[in-house]
Amino acid sequence: MTVRILPSILSADFARLGEDVARMEAGGADWLHVDVMDGQFVPNLTFGAKVIEAVRSVTKLPLDVHMMVWQPERYFDDFAAAGASRMLIHAEATPHLHRHVNRIKELGCAAGVAINPATPVEVLVDIVQDLDTVLVMTVNPGFGGQQFIAHTVEKICRTRELLTRTKSRAVLEVDGGINRETIVTCYRAGADTFVAGHAVFAAADPRAEIGELRRRAGEVVT
């Protein structure tokens, strides 16, 4: 199973954003994760299209845009134009998942759905075949640096079972509290794509840290 490491720019130094993005790219990051928060769906306010555009201008890495917002459809066109590669919307944020997933794809981006720690995996059953990504939150969304919620491991297992049963080709992404210890547990539960913030941005050697995360998740590093 391929392992992907996605540094979250929420943990970057925005006074040196270009430098930090370059460090992650040189360090072997597979994609970059961009957290968009509207201050309503979650109790924090972060980035919009201008930041996505700024990151796109300094890297060719795929941009994984995680939309923690109400009415996500309001942003699709702007985010696609800004350079998003993949847009993830929350199951809890809209009653129109099928419509919105299709619109994201029409704009030329990969599409995914995220679920919060208390949201059952079953909400994905009727949309999973259309998805490129399923994101299981392993913390309550809204802030970086939170402690990993242990019971989400069982949810990762059930999500992997759903993907296998439906023969879905979606990647299984996890976000929240990922470090050298939790990445092992999540990988064994079935995740293959890992968002890491502080663990890589605070490392003296991001390449070594990304490599270690990859190694611990079970991939042979050459």
- Of the residues 20, 35, 38, 64, only one is catalytic, namely 35
What pLDDT does residue 46 have? 86
What pLDDT does residue 45 have? 83
Q: Is 175 designated active site?
A: yes
In which band, very low, low, confident or very high, does the pLDDT at 81 lie, cut at 50, 70 and 90? Answer: very high
Is 34 a residue whose pLDDT tops 70?
yes
Whether residue 203 contacts residue 212, with contact meaning beta carbons closer than 8 Å, is answered with no
pLDDT one-digit tens code per residue, 112-170: 999 999 999 999 999 999 999 999 999 998 766 678 999 999 999 999 999 999 999 99
What pLDDT does residue 44 have? 82
* Cα–Cα distance, 126 to 113 (Å, whole number): 12
In which band, very low, low, confident or very high, does the pLDDT at 220 lie, cut at 50, 70 and 90? Answer: very low
Q: Is 35 designated active site?
A: yes
What pLDDT does residue 145 have? 65
- Of the residues 20, 64, 132, 175, only one is catalytic, namely 175
In which band, very low, low, confident or very high, does the pLDDT at 219 lie, cut at 50, 70 and 90? Answer: low
The structure tokens listed for 156 are 């990762």
Residue whose C-alpha is closest to residue 70's, from 43, 105, 104, 31: 43
Q: 167 Cβ partners below 8 Å, 6+ apart?
A: none
Ramachandran quadrant class, 173 (left: phi over 0; alpha: psi -120 to 50; beta: rest): beta
Is 222 a residue whose pLDDT tops 60?
no
**Which of 8-22, 64-78, 131-145, 181-195 is predicted with the least confidence, judged by mean pLDDT?**
131-145
